[in-house]
Chains A and B, each alone.
Chain A
Amino acid sequence: MAEQPIWKSGVTLAIIAAFCTALVALTWQLTAERIEINKTAWLERSLQPALAGLFFDSSVTESMIRIPQPHELPGTEDAIVYRVYAGDEPVAALFVVSARDGYAGPIRLLIGIAMDGTVTGVRVLEHRETPGLGDRVDTTKSDWVLQFDGHSLRDPELAGWAIRSDGGKFDQLTGASITPRAVIKAIRETLVYFDANPDIIFAPLPQPVADDTEEPE
């Protein structure tokens, strides 16, 4: 075969690249809506554990607000709060925050707190802790993270929010102390923030829902 000039190769490459991009764009068009629906459904499902036992009638995912940096919540990124209402009355707030001082990177946590300041549920959403040791903070591996349910800053007092070997009231994990310490610290900080900032947490949504009793002009 004769030697091909380099620009011909370039053109072939460009055409095939354009074709491939079009293929991906088309698939994205066809799937984007479903992917978005799946994401919301999954989010609602993953928030369930922190909603157990609460009475509410609001859409939890629609009441989401972001608390931008700087804030006193754990984590270096914006914190996400899902507010739970029964009618107009706030019932609870679900926080998605990151414990930064995990053993291997941040630990994404879901922390639910009822209006009386008690923990309704804690779940680890994302982590990279050591399998067999720190990863037991995950409910698929152990029930460790369930011990916080029903506790608040009055039970135990602030100093009690630590693992037993640090003089606190909560169990540690055999062979892992950094991970439990990080998780407990994040829960404690979130509880403190919840007590101090109800006006930020339950601030009305920036775009209020339109009053549907009003007749259109």
Chain B
Amino acid sequence: MSSGLVEKFKSGLWKDNPGLVQLLGLCPLLAVTATFVNGLGLGLATLLVLMASNALVSATRRWIQPEIRVPIYVLIIASLVTCIELVFKAWFPDLDRSLGIFIPLIVTNCAIVARAEVFASRNPVGPSILDGLVMGSGFALLLMAIGAFRELFGQGTLFSRMDMLLGGEPMRGIVIADGGWLLLVLPPGAFFSLALAIAAKNAIDRRRKDANTPIPRRARTLNR
């Protein structure tokens, strides 16, 4: 069973990473990753919503008629996102202001509906929560990686404003340089950074590929 678990984590974090391979949820991924702390904050929020929505969808899957499943997913996800938004406003108000509209916009993160439809609606609660954890972690790690990359090369710092998550005085983080390549902080930088991340993943996959392993899976649609 543990090898299955390892496989599952490999799939969520690498092989089927929602951001890198499935290319789901790109709007928040591109919009908020100007700094590490923003990536971490939105990553955590998405992870929590994904786990909770997978749990609820899985728990109610016996009563949900296929005709009305989409409105029900929307209801569940929208309520959960509202709850997470309230929690952020209460405990991480600065982070909430910094992420702004992108917390409520988790509703439209298609990675969440995709997992509800593909996995949680046909699996028991336990595995569904695990799926949410794994897929959410894959997404969050990508957000953090891109956030760290853009922050480091775009403004020359790392882990700045971690106080938004940890509390306390404003932190400047690790200051490496006084400023950086501004383009990386601006929206185009998000596209370039994601492209670099996907290219790096494909390069690593190719290097590791043996003669008998199949070609790594690329971006694909949800059509089964």
Knowing A27-B83, A27-B87, the reply to whether A9 touches B68 (Cβ < 8 A) is: yes
Q: Which residue of B lies closest to A4 (CB)?
A: B65
Interface flag for B169 (CB, 8 Å): no
Interface flag for A147 (CB, 8 Å): no
Interface flags for A17-34 (1: CB within 8 Å of B; 0: not) read: 100110110011011001
Complex Cα spacing A17 to B56, Å? 13
Interface flag for B90 (CB, 8 Å): yes
Complex Cα spacing A36 to B151, Å? 32
A140 CB to closest chain B CB (Å) equals: 12
Within 8 A of A (CB), among B50-101: 60, 63-68, 71-72, 75-76, 78-80, 82-83, 86-87, 89-91, 93, 97
Count of B interface residues, CB-CB < 8 Å: 23
Interface flags for A46-57 (1: CB within 8 Å of B; 0: not) read: 000000000000
Q: Which residue of B lies closest to A17 (CB)?
A: B75
Q: Is the CB of A16 within 8 A of B76?
A: yes
Complex Cα spacing A42 to B87, Å? 17
Q: Is the CB of A31 within 8 A of B76?
A: no
Q: Which residues of B contact A34 (CB under 8 A)?
A: 90-91
Q: Which residues of A contact B82 (CB under 8 A)?
A: 24, 27
Interface flag for A69 (CB, 8 Å): no
Q: Which residues of B contact A130 (CB under 8 A)?
A: none
Within 8 A of A (CB), among B153-167: none
B residues with a Cβ closer than 8 A to A are 60, 63-68, 71-72, 75-76, 78-80, 82-83, 86-87, 89-91, 93, 97
Can you list the 4 inter-chain pairs with the closest CB atoms, starting with the nearest? A20-B79, A31-B90, A34-B90, A27-B83
